[in-house]
Amino acid sequence: MKPTIIPKNPCFSSGPCAKRPGWSLDLLKDAAVGRSHRAKTGKAKLAEVIERTKSILGLPADYRLGIVPASDTGAVEMALWSMLGERGVDVLAWESFSSGWASDCKSQLKLQDLRILKADYGELPDLNQTDWNRDVVFAWNGTTSGVKVPNGDWIAADRQGLAICDATSAVFAMDIPWPKLDVVTWSWQKVLGGEAGHGMIALSPRAVDRLQTYSPPRPLPKIFQMTKGGKLIEGIFSGETINTPSLLCVEDALDGLKWAESVGGLAGLIARSCANLSAMEEWVRSSPWAGFLASAFATRSNTSICLKVVDPAFSALRVDDQAKHLKTIVSTLEKAGAAYDIGAYRDAPPGLRIWGGATVETSDIRALLPWLDWAYGEVKAQF
């Protein structure tokens, strides 16, 4: 039976993610638009984003946090290009974004001493193979496979190398063991439902030391430069951005942070996201056709929840037919106004991906589930 109740907010995209409940454009009316970001008001707002973020996340007092250009990609690339090459590098690659960092290390940075530890979609590489005398580059949550690292126990506390972590779909939704990480990056457009284009980079004292003592053998574009004359540009970490940010997006980021505080801060955000995963798990347990792409419970993401079809009648189809049926499910649900943007990532195996970050209401996840069953039933009638 076609369900009759649609989710109040049908936005389940894995980025840009759903705006927080109650969001409206009116909330941005105090944005410092038309003003310089270097003027007192704009600079204060940028600094406020940094300070509120530090406080919600519980960043160690000696970590720097900056707002940087080009979203999470910009933040990751500036770390890789500025810091790598001083020693050997291990990169963990288990889905599209982490594989992208591995391929940049190999083909763009052309690192001589590079190991790429790979795993297929749904799995993690063997984390115990990492060598902490080397720098290690990895994603905390693989957004395109729905597989996360289970914790930071595998990261050596007395490491010599740097732990460089792309945590864009994890920060504000998962516990991040900050002292185990030296560079952590994310963007505004993920868990707090902010706007695209702006990245954040957190640096440990050891990461700052690397920046100040190592000169990479490659040119660095201005938007990657975090030092001048061998010294850290401290202004970047107090709101003096490298180039011009959008003050409309800054206002929106502040709204997201204030909302985060209102739902109980980090613990509240994590609980909201975990409740979304629990609702999906309860449904998957009794579903005859849906399963998780993540092979292990401990590595199952609570933000980018990736599903595969486990119905033997579906598995018997050719892969391009499977992809075609899944596209039909996605477009049918979009047309019905029940779910937007729930197709698997373009490089991932055929499946569905449903964002379960903190801005998504569990009542909306619950309202979506009967639609998934209905749409699957409709396509199954075709094969």
Nearer to ligand PLP by Cβ, of 299 and 322: the residue is: 299
Binding mask 88-127 for ligand PLP (x = CB under 6 A): ---------x------------------------------
8 Å CB contact between 273 and 356: yes
Task: For residue 302, state whether it binds ligand PLP (rule: CB under 6 A).
Answer: no
Nearer to ligand PLP by Cβ, of 169 and 204: the residue is: 169
Instruction: State the minimum distance, in angstroms, from the CB of residue 314 to ligand PLP.
Output: 27
Instruction: State the minimum distance, in angstroms, from the CB of residue 190 to ligand PLP.
Output: 7
Considering only residues 203 through 242, tell me which ones interact with ligand PLP, judged by CB under 6 A: none
Which of these ranges, 23-31, 36-44, 66-74, 260-268, lies near ligand PLP under the rule CB under 6 A?
A: 66-74
Residue type, 68: V
Nearer to ligand PLP by Cβ, of 215 and 243: the residue is: 243
Nearer to ligand PLP by Cβ, of 232 and 277: the residue is: 277
Which of these ranges, 123-131, 165-173, 247-255, 278-286, lies near ligand PLP under the rule CB under 6 A?
A: 165-173
Comparing CA positions, the residue from 256, 21, 301, 26 lying closest to residue 143 is 301
Which of these ranges, 65-73, 80-88, 103-111, 363-371, lies near ligand PLP under the rule CB under 6 A?
A: 65-73
Residue from the set 189, 287, 301, 322 that interacts with ligand PLP by CB under 6 A: 189
What span, in angstroms and rounded, lies between the C-alpha atoms of 359 and 14? 11
Task: For residue 15, state whether it binds ligand PLP (rule: CB under 6 A).
Answer: yes
Closest residue to ligand PLP, Cβ-based? 143
Nearer to ligand PLP by Cβ, of 95 and 369: the residue is: 95
Nearer to ligand PLP by Cβ, of 95 and 364: the residue is: 95
Nearer to ligand PLP by Cβ, of 97 and 121: the residue is: 97
H/E stretch holding 203 reads strand 198-203
Residue from the set 77, 104, 135, 166 that interacts with ligand PLP by CB under 6 A: 166
CB atoms near residue 108 (< 10 Å): 12
DSSP 30: T
DSSP 180: G
Task: For residue 143, state whether it binds ligand PLP (rule: CB under 6 A).
Answer: yes
What span, in angstroms and rounded, lies between the C-alpha atoms of 29 and 264? 25
Q: Which two tokens stand for residue 77?
A: 């690339």
What span, in angstroms and rounded, lies between the C-alpha atoms of 323 and 112? 39
SS3 257: helix
Q: Give 282's Cβ-side CA count (13 Å radius).
A: 11
Task: For residue 251, state whether it binds ligand PLP (rule: CB under 6 A).
Answer: no
- What would the DSSP string read from start to end of 95-120? SHHHHHHHHIIIIIS--SSEEEEE--
Q: Which two tokens stand for residue 48?
A: 């406020």
Q: Which residues contact 251 (CB under 8 A, 6 or more apart)?
A: 27, 28, 30, 31, 32, 45
Residue from the set 43, 65, 66, 71 that interacts with ligand PLP by CB under 6 A: 71
Nearer to ligand PLP by Cβ, of 72 and 135: the residue is: 72
Query: Max CA-CA distance within the chain?
Result: 68
Comparing CA positions, the residue from 133, 135, 179 lying closest to residue 157 is 179
Instruction: State the minimum distance, in angstroms, from the CB of residue 345 to ligand PLP.
Output: 8
Residue from the set 45, 72, 105, 203 that interacts with ligand PLP by CB under 6 A: 72
Q: Phi/psi class of residue 179: alpha, beta or left (left: φ > 0; alpha: ψ in -120 to 50)?
A: alpha
DSSP 291: E
Residues that bind ligand PLP (CB under 6 A): 14-15, 71-73, 97, 139, 143, 166, 168-169, 187, 189
